[in-house]
Structure 1
Amino acid sequence: MPYTPKHKEQTRQRILQAAAKLFCSNGFDRVTLTQIMKKANMTHGAFYAHFSGKSSLYEAAMQFATSHGFWARDDKQTESKETHLKALVIRYLSWSKSDKEHPSPLEFLVTDAAHKEEKVRQAYQACFDNLVERLTEILQKRGAKEAKALAEETVVSLVGTVAIARSFAQPLQNDFLKRAQERIVSRLNSGLKVTN
């Protein structure tokens, strides 16, 4: 008996969710299809029913991660503009928490930005562009005049901070993240105040 379209879509979503978490934690090269399918609690056969290979899964998983990240849920926020932006920065820089539900694809994938495989580089670039676009929209709603430039600066700062912080031992790591958080939030707030 063939599977229903609903079942096929649920299967695809399980694979994407597992892949997004693993790719966001380890990058393209350090994740295997076996690991992904084990995390999704599925067989390799199910993988090939949805994706042609690891690169096509990576591309779809990055789109999934971006569309399910916390910046994608901005419209439901009721906090003040400064409080909400601070919350976004804090959540992004809380990458070390194991219970993080929706990691950002850019947090750990700095090495994927210059990957030898074109499809991987393009997926990383699309993810970066998407996050900048989403943050630009948030900043525009809050009255920032130079929203795109501020969004690009913020995303680069967040990604760079996480990439560097991963190499630090505790308590240096926490101190570094706290200073970065204060600096990034201050810059965001000054970008809003100048234009209000």
Structure 2
Amino acid sequence: MPRVSRDQAEANRLRVTRTAAKLYRASGLERTSVADIMESADMTIGAFHRQFGSKEALATEACRHAFAEICLHWQQRIHRDGATQAFARLTADYLSTRHRDGSGEGCAAAALAGDIAHQPAHSPLRKAFIAGVQHFAAIMGEILPAALSPKKRRRRALAVYATLVGAVTIARATKGDAISEEVLEAATDAVKLLRDN
């Protein structure tokens, strides 16, 4: 088999990473096999071993990629709409039934937190997840009132983020029951209160 160019190898790696990020968010780390990922990416298992070496290395890179996607989306929206409008639109999108139902395209924290909780404390995957949470919380702080002190802004950002992630996690687990939509609606009210008080 002919060797691929460096550019093609990088494109292939990104394709596998994107595919893994989507499948891990949709089905979880344990229920998604390397074979599933490579088949969805239309690549061979041999390519996986050349590019990543281990499932943990791929999961770590996929986790970083998933957080980078949502962080970039939020930053672009903040830049385009300004803090107040961005807060309203981004939190409404996050707490929508579309996000609840589309875990493969959604937030890594809401999709993977349960899996990550079972990872060893010093694993690269857990460290990547924590870095993603830290980055997202910092972005959340950008859309909170400027009058808040840095300490209050960080605490409020973490409270809003935890409310968003917790609500979507519960809404996904209760999908099909009326409480699922109730949770999303209650969280919408809660994040507005957190922002304004």
Common fold by TM > 0.5: yes
CA–CA distance in 1 between the matches of 2:31 and 2:127?
18
Q: CA deviation at 1:73?
A: 2.5
Counterpart of 1:113 in structure 2 is 116
Aligned pair 1:67/2:71, yes or no?
no
CA–CA distance in 2 between the matches of 1:55 and 1:165?
28
Q: CA deviation at 1:143?
A: 5.2
CA–CA distance in 1 between the matches of 2:109 and 2:127?
13
Q: Is 2:100–2:171's contact at 8 Å kept on the other side of the alignment?
A: no
Residues matched between the structures, number: 187
Aligned pair 1:175/2:178, yes or no?
no
Q: CA deviation at 1:134?
A: 2.3
Aligned pair 1:96/2:103, yes or no?
no
Instruction: Provide the TM-score with structure 1 as the length reference.
Output: 0.83
In structure 1, the gaps of 5 or more residues are 192-196
Q: CA deviation at 1:59?
A: 0.9
Counterpart of 1:135 in structure 2 is 140
Runs of 4+ in structure 1 displaced over 4 angstroms? none
CA–CA distance in 2 between the matches of 1:101 and 1:19?
10
CA–CA distance in 1 between the matches of 2:190 and 2:131?
26
Q: CA deviation at 1:81?
A: 2.5
CA–CA distance in 1 between the matches of 2:56 and 2:133?
17
Where 2:161 maps in the other structure, the secondary structure is helix
Q: CA deviation at 1:113?
A: 3.3
Q: CA deviation at 1:41?
A: 1.7
Overall identity of the aligned pairs, in %: 25
CA–CA distance in 1 between the matches of 2:158 and 2:190?
15
CA–CA distance in 1 between the matches of 2:184 and 2:5?
47
Where 2:109 maps in the other structure, the secondary structure is coil
In structure 2, the gaps of 5 or more residues are none
Which protein has the bigger helix share?
2
Which residue identity is paired with 1:126?
A
Of the three residues 126, 130, 150, the one matched with 2:156 is 150
Structure 1 44/7 Cα, relative in aligned 2: closer, same or farther at 3 Å? same
Counterpart of 1:57 in structure 2 is 58
Which residue identity is paired with 1:19?
A
Counterpart of 2:41 in structure 1 is 40
Q: CA deviation at 1:154?
A: 1.3
Counterpart of 2:84 in structure 1 is 82
CA–CA distance in 2 between the matches of 1:42 and 1:144?
50
Structure 1 167/40 Cα, relative in aligned 2: closer, same or farther at 3 Å? same
Q: Is 1:58–1:123's contact at 8 Å kept on the other side of the alignment?
A: no
Counterpart of 2:169 in structure 1 is 163
Q: Which is further off, 113-122 or 175-184?
A: 113-122
Instruction: Provide the TM-score with structure 2 as the length reference.
Output: 0.83
Which residue identity is paired with 1:122?
K
Q: CA deviation at 1:75?
A: 5.2
Q: CA deviation at 1:33?
A: 0.6
What is the Cα-based RMSD across aligned positions, in Å? Answer: 2.2
